[in-house]
């Protein structure tokens, strides 16, 4: 059996503190290595961290101009100009706030999604591989768009979204029917290959997924549980998301 490595878990009082701890974590790594290569998520969870990074940049305390960014995932068929695309999201919520010239995104309009995934892997490899993957977590334990059941050795490629994920993401679209059913996501092996991984979670609705991911068995039913095997894995979760974890120290 593979060794399960103890995870560093930091429990923040709330969303704001989670966000500033996450921003400091990222800024610290960028200070050590200005040309850091990062995978970054879309969604509600990282918005506060992106704002904090924007604040650091405005105050002259952060320079991201030499770092490289890869979006974790993108909806199949949606391009950068589509309002529902993750690229649009990241432009509005991150790129606008900092000095990041470009963010890589899977070519989700390329007709062959398997090939688009393979090319994305090549882009990551030619950037030198991921130094850091920042992740949110779905209520079903997904990371990126790796839904329950996705193999731990999966690489970037097409994925089908579960009804749960589709309805969670409906808020970014005018009607539920507009939410894409497919995406291109970095695979679980791709994420695990990052030299360091930071998982963020906020709020009681994430508590079950967080407990299963961090303290449950390592199983493909809970994709995030694969991170327990990562040698440099940190989770920063707020008290709501941590409410079903027991025996972990408060903020370290
Ligand atoms: C988004 C992504 C997803 C989200 C997760 C949580 O790029 O990869 O795994 O991180 O669905 O979403 P929020 O933060 O909206 O709760």
Q: Report if residue 234 sits inside a domain.
A: no
Task: Write the pLDDT tens digit of every residue in 233-244.
Answer: 999 999 999 999
CB-neighbour burial class of residue 130 (10 A; exposed 0-12, middle 13-18, buried 19+) = buried
Cα of 45 to ligand 1 centre, how many Å?
7
Could you tell me if residue 77 is inside a domain?
A: yes
Q: Both tokens of residue 79?
A: 């391009």
Which residues carry out catalysis?
Answer: 73, 140, 142, 147
Q: Residue 149 sits in a domain of what CATH number?
A: 3.40.50.1360
Two tokens, residue 212? 């299963």
Strand partners, 235: 9, 199
The Å distance, Cα 73 to ligand 1 centre, comes to 10
Taking the CA of residue 45 as reference, the ligand 1 atom at the shortest distance is: 14
Side-chain half-sphere exposure of 143, counting CA atoms within 13 A? 36
> Is the distance from the beta carbon of residue 203 to the nearest atom of ligand 1 less than 6 Å?
no
Structural domain includes residue 29: yes
The Å distance, Cα 1 to ligand 1 centre, comes to 30
- Which residue lies with its CA nearest to atom 3 of ligand 1? 144
**Is 210 within the bounds of a domain?**
no
In this prediction, residue 123 has a pLDDT band, given cuts at 50, 70 and 90, of very high
Confidence tier at 101 by pLDDT (50, 70, 90): confident
State residue 252's pLDDT score: 40
pLDDT at 87: 97
244 part of a folded domain: no
Residue 44 lies in a domain: yes
The Å distance, Cα 163 to ligand 1 centre, comes to 15
Q: What is the pLDDT of residues 158-194, one digit of tens each?
A: 999 999 899 888 888 988 888 999 999 999 999 999 9
Report whether residue 7 contacts ligand 1, using a CB cutoff of 6 Å: no
Ligand 1 pocket test target in 45, 94, 154 with most atoms within 8 Å of CB = 45
Residue 90, pLDDT score? 97
Domain extent for 45:
15-203
The answer to whether position 236 is within a domain reads no
CA distances from 117 to 37, 73, 105, 154 (A): 18, 10, 10, 11
Q: Is residue 223 part of a domain?
A: no
How many distinct structural domains can be found in the chain?
1
Closest ligand 1 atom to 73 CA: 7
- Asked whether the predicted pLDDT for residue 247 surpasses 80, the reply is no
- Please indicate whether residue 133, judged by its CB atom, sits closer than 6 Å to ligand 1: no
């Amino acid at each position: 059996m593979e060794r399960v490595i103890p995870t560093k878990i930091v429990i923040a009082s709330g969303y704001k503190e989670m966000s500033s701890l996450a921003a400091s974590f990222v800024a610290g790594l960028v200070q050590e290595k200005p040309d850091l290569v990062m995978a970054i998520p879309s969604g509600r969870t990282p918005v506060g961290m992106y704002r904090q990074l924007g604040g650091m940049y405005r105050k002259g305390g952060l320079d991201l101009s030499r770092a490289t960014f890869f979006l974790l995932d993108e909806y199949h068929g949606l391009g950068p100009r589509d309002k529902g695309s993750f690229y649009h999201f990241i432009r509005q919520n991150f790129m606008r706030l900092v000095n990041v010239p470009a963010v890589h995104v899977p070519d989700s309009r390329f007709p062959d999604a398997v090939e688009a995934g393979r090319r994305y892997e090549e882009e990551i490899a030619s950037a030198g591989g991921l130094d850091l993957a920042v992740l949110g977590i779905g209520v079903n334990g997904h990371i990126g768009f790796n839904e329950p059941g996705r193999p731990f050795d999966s690489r970037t490629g097409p994925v089908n979204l579960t009804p749960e994920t589709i309805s969670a993401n409906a808020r970014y679209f005018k009607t539920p029917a507009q939410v894409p059913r497919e995406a291109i996501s970095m695979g679980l092996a791709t994420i695990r290959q990052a030299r360091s991984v930071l998982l963020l979670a906020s709020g009681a609705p994430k508590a079950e997924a967080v407990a299963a991911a961090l303290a449950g068995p390592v199983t493909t039913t809970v994709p995030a549980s694969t991170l327990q095997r990562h040698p440099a894995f940190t989770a920063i979760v707020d008290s709501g998301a941590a409410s079903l974890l027991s025996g972990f120290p408060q903020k370290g």
